[in-house]
Structure 1
């Protein structure tokens, strides 16, 4: 074998080693089990990961009208994972991500946790984020809808706080692969509050979450929803894709059906779980750090609900943030019911954010 052949082999090895180093960096911190899950569920192949990313990057030049402010490997990878490594779909999501921000510039001005509007929403628990994940490694987000004080927080600021929280969380590669669960408790959510959920702002939220964000939503669960929340479906249906109608579940006030999908030991007591009541300041303190202060009307105690394991129900009530409106759900004793889908319309999937 002549020197030219050895030079070619040497160059190929250098390119291979460089690409392998990049891919190793992209998988840094992932367990072998998670890497295998990404392969099985998302079609992620470490051997061609660099080529997949480059194919998406090459598509960017086809849309000079969109300002792609970030195109590094790690950033593009989250869009590939969100679309199961279909390069065209991943690029479309990436383009919609930046286009959504260009079309809604006011929403993304001062898009930081210390922005006054975002900060108020975070302090009021929009969203709540559980410290522990579910049995599938998914992060659980909570929304207590009745705590929306419309004189204090606009819907836009709540949406901004949710999007910012997802931006922070999606940096975690495990969550890019495992995804998220959202639970919305509609207890005490009034018709007057619901009347503020206009088609235009619901459309804005759906575009931001369903069409423009690189996250896998494994389920959206409604608890204690009144009849007029069902009616909201007629407002949002025109904005939904055909494939996004499977993962919102309506559980009513009986949580057995919720527990069939999310184990009680992953949930706080408001949802019939074994964890202590959720402390509304948990996620706000994480994002705001030293800037966190209980400036809202609710009285948070120093009790850290995420780390106390064996509180009685009376103690839980005393330690919960006072005046916060909590779930009115009940869990029937005994074994969880596996009801026939035709018999329980309440738990049928209504829509999905995929």
Structure 2
């Protein structure tokens, strides 16, 4: 039996490539043109430090629908973000966040993909999260590491991912840890500096006090991201309109078994790609 806690490194299937053509403009012609033009733009943007390996450029061009001008803009935004938040991201490697990953119980990834072949990230922002043990900075670094790892999956490059934010038991301890600065950092990253297709964000089990969190988030959201956010409370049937129950665990009204794994189970998969993390931490502006 295949290990469910592994990155899906399988190549693109004809079905995946058909989705890429339909949704991302990915054709042999656009691919060749996009790669050539982006390599030329990288040479012209001589202050940037990124590999021009095809594997990496495809990641960027896919999220930009194979428009090279959009891709170089994204690369510059990624570099600006890393520069602005250098204190949090400098030389970041998985080992630095091993304890939060393995013991925090906050961030998890479903072992199965959903009905649209998308990865599903679970973020426990409620009572499970103890900010005294796992800081907001640490939580962001974990999110950042996971987004790097997800880029390696061809299916995720093409089909994207979704996030389920679980706010069960949310209290003032967690709300106080979610400052305007930490929320702005996360939303800026997601909206302008993340080379992944984030298709949906679902908020579940949020109590009334969540309104305080939402009031902090709204000023930093663009219209595109707002349109992808959905609020379900305890009514999992609302979530099932987006993700059928047969693709969800019992925790969210699904027919799959209750989640009995965590970031601890996933951590070896993250460590298994340390070479990519080591390369990635050098990306951005030239020093």
The reply to whether TM is greater than 0.5 is yes
Q: 2: distance between equivalents of 1:205 and 1:212?
A: 10
* SS of the residue 1:106 aligns to: helix
Q: 2: distance between equivalents of 1:227 and 1:62?
A: 51
Runs ≥4 in structure 1, deviation > 3 angstroms? Answer: 61-65
> Match of 1:122?
101
- The 5-angstrom pairing of residues 266-345 of structure 1 reads 266-278=247-259, 279-280=261-262, 281-288=264-271
Q: 2: distance between equivalents of 1:214 and 1:288?
A: 21
* 1:89 pairs with 2:70: yes
* SS of the residue 1:84 aligns to: coil
The Cα of 1:254 is off from its aligned counterpart by: 0.9
* 1:135 pairs with 2:135: no
CA contact (8 A) 1:145 1:184 kept: yes
Q: 2: distance between equivalents of 1:237 and 1:144?
A: 20
The Cα of 1:182 is off from its aligned counterpart by: 0.6
- The 5-angstrom pairing of residues 1-354 of structure 1 reads 29-65=11-47, 67-115=48-96, 118-123=97-102, 124-146=104-126, 147-278=128-259, 279-280=261-262, 281-288=264-271
Bigger Cα displacement from structure 2, 150-159 vs 228-237: 228-237
CA contact (8 A) 1:107 1:156 kept: yes
Q: 2: distance between equivalents of 1:198 and 1:37?
A: 39
* SS of the residue 1:243 aligns to: helix
**Could you tell me the TM-score, scaled by structure 1's length?**
0.69
CA contact (8 A) 2:125 2:174 kept: no
CA contact (8 A) 1:182 1:221 kept: yes
* SS of the residue 1:195 aligns to: helix
* SS of the residue 1:182 aligns to: strand
Q: 2: distance between equivalents of 1:274 and 1:171?
A: 29
Q: 2: distance between equivalents of 1:62 and 1:288?
A: 34
CA contact (8 A) 1:140 1:182 kept: yes
Q: 2: distance between equivalents of 1:153 and 1:219?
A: 25
Cα distance per residue 1:154-187 (max 9 Å; x no partner): 1111111111011112111111001101101100
Q: 1: distance between equivalents of 2:219 and 2:46?
A: 30
> Which sections of structure 1, spanning at least 5 residues, go unmatched?
1-27, 290-354
The Cα of 1:197 is off from its aligned counterpart by: 0.8
> Which sections of structure 2, spanning at least 5 residues, go unmatched?
1-9, 273-287
Bigger Cα displacement from structure 2, 98-107 vs 35-44: 98-107
Number of matched pairs: 260
Q: Give the structure, 1 or 2, with the largest relative contact order (CA under 8 Å, sep 6 or more).
A: 2
Change in 2 beyond 3 A, CA 1:240/1:60: farther
Larger radius of gyration: 1
* SS of the residue 1:244 aligns to: helix
* SS of the residue 1:204 aligns to: helix
